Amino acid sequence: MRERGCSEEELFSFLSSTRREDLGYHNILSSMCTVPHPIAERVHAMFIETNLGDPGLFPGTASLEDLLVERIGALLHHPGAGGYATSGGTESNIQALRIAKKRKDVASPNVVVPASAHFSFEKACDILSLEMRTVPVDANYRMDVDALDGLVDANTACIVGIVGTTEYGMVDPIDRLSEVAEEQDTFLHVDAAFGGMVVPFLPDPAPFDFLLPGVDSISIDPHKMGMSTIPAGCLLTRDVRMFNCLNVDTPYLTVKQECTLAGTRSGASVAAALAVLEYLGMDGMRSIVAGCMENTRRLVEGMETFGCPRAVTPDVNVATFVCDASPPGWRVSRTRNGHMRIVCMPHVHRDVIEAFLRDMGELNAQ
C-alpha cells in the first residue's frame, strides 16, 4: 500500500482509464450477462451496505429476499418453495448437490448430469467428492433420457436436468426426468440458471418446474435474463426443510443457524432482482423475452442466407451455427464442438443483430 493516500482526482483518473479497458456489452454476443435494468442499478446503490449474512441487523432487506423467493417460487408454480439468494448458478448448483448428497448418505455417491451440463457441476463434484456420470445428448443437444438406464443406480444421489443449456440453449426433457426420478426415488435438480427467466415467459412453455412432481430443486439466476446486478442467483427447493441438513450453528449472529454457502453476502443485487420483477411484472418480462426470441429467429434466418446453417433450433435465446469466420469487432464464442455461439441477451437489440448480419455479409462477399 502507499504510505500516503493519493488524491481523489488521481485515483479516479486511474480508475476511469482502467475501466475503459473493459469491453462492456457493446457488440458482445457471447455473454449470458447483460446491462442491468436501470431499476436494478438504482436499487443496488440503495442497498449497497446491506449484509444478508446477519439478517437480524437488516430485517427489511431480509424480508425482500423472502419476497424474491416467494415471487420466483410462484413463477415456478410453488409459492411456498424454500430458497435463498445465492451468488449465481455455481453456488446454487453446489448447494443443491450438497443437499442431495446428504439425503442419500451412501459411501460412494454419484450424480448423473447431461454432457451439456455447465462446468459448475465439475466444481461441485470435486468439492463434494461425488462421482460425476455423464449422459450423452441426442441429435438436438438435449439429454438422451433413454441413455440414463445403467447410469442411475442405488448410489445415485442426484439426477440433473438443464433448462437453457449454456452452449446450445436447449431444454432437457424435464417431464421424463421427473418420471425417472420418481420411479427411482432419486433427487432431481433442475439447472435453470439461464432458462428459468426465459421459459416461463414464452407463449407455450414446456413444463420444467415444481408442477412436475419429481422436481426437488431449481437454480435460477436473476443476474442473467432477470437483468439484475451481479451476483444475483436463487436456489429453490420443493420443501423448505430440505435446507435444514445444511444448517450450521452461528452462535454470535442475530440468527442461530445458517444454511447458505457464503457468510457475509450483499443484499444489493437481491433487492435489485426483486425490484426488476416487481417493476416489469409478467407482462414486461414476456415482452423482453419475446424480443430476445424474435432477435434469435432473425439472426438464425439471416445467418442461413449466408450459408451458415444453425447447429440446432434453440429452445431459448442462444443461437449456434456452422460457421468458421466471424467479422472483426464482434465477440462471439465457440461451443466445444466448434459451433459459433451467439446469446441474444436484452442488450443485443434488433439493430445490433442487423449490424452484425451486415458485417457477416461483407465478410462473405470478400
Query: Residue 54 or residue 112: which is nearer to ligand 0PR going by CB?
Result: 112
**If binding means CB under 6 A, how many residues of this protein chain bind ligand 0PR?**
17
In angstroms, give the least distance from the CB of 75 to ligand 0PR: 17
Query: Bridge-partner residues for 133, per DSSP?
Result: 112
Q: Does 193 bind ligand 0PR (CB under 6 A)?
A: yes
CA 128 from centroid of its chain's CA atoms: 21
Please state the closest distance from residue 335 (CB atom) to ligand 0PR, in A.
10
Q: 1 CB contacts (<8 Å, ≥6 apart)? A: none
Whether residue 231 is preceded by a cis peptide bond, meaning omega within 30 degrees of 0, is: yes
* Helix-, strand-, coil-residue percentages of the chain, each rounded to 5: 40, 15, 45
Interface of this chain with ligand 0PR, residues 75 to 114, rule: CB under 6 A:
88-90, 93
Q: State in angstroms the smallest separation of the CB of 136 from ligand 0PR.
A: 18
Interaction mask 261-300, ligand 0PR, x per CB under 6 A: ----------------------------------------
Q: Measured from the CB atom, is 54 or 171 closer to ligand 0PR?
A: 171
Q: Which of residues 25-44 bind ligand 0PR (CB under 6 A)?
A: 30-33
- 199/94 Cα distance (integer angstroms): 23
> CA distances (Å), 222 to each of 198, 212, 276, in order?
11, 22, 9
Residues 213-232 that bind ligand 0PR (CB under 6 A): 221
Per CB under 6 A, the list member of 95, 120, 266, 269 interacting with ligand 0PR is: 120
Smaller CB separation from ligand 0PR, 58 or 85: 85
Residues 171 and 161: beta-carbon distance below 8 Å: no
In this structure, which amino acid lies at residue 355? A
We find the least distance from the C-beta atom of residue 220 to ligand 0PR, in angstroms, to be 10
Do 37 and 227 contact (CB within 8 A), yes or no?
yes
- Annotate each residue in 129-168 with x if it binds ligand 0PR (CB under 6 A) or - if it does not, as one string: ---------------------------------x---x--
Q: Which is nearer to ligand 0PR, 30 or 250 (CB)?
A: 30
Q: Which three cell numbers stand for residue 349?
A: 437489440
Is residue 168 within 8 Å of residue 318, measured between CB atoms?
yes
What single-letter DSSP state applies at residue 6? P
Cβ atoms of 312 and 140 within 8 Å: the answer is yes
Asked if residues 52 and 194 have their Cβ atoms less than 8 Å apart, the reply is no
Q: Which is nearer to ligand 0PR, 43 or 198 (CB)?
A: 198
Which helix (H) or strand (E) segment holds residue 44: the answer is: helix 38-46
Residue 229 CB, shortest distance to ligand 0PR, in Å, is: 12
Eight-state DSSP code of residue 362: H
Find the binder of ligand 0PR among 168, 194, 201, 356 (CB under 6 A).
194
Interface residues toward ligand 0PR, by CB under 6 A: 30-33, 88-90, 93, 118, 120, 162, 166, 191, 193-194, 221, 233
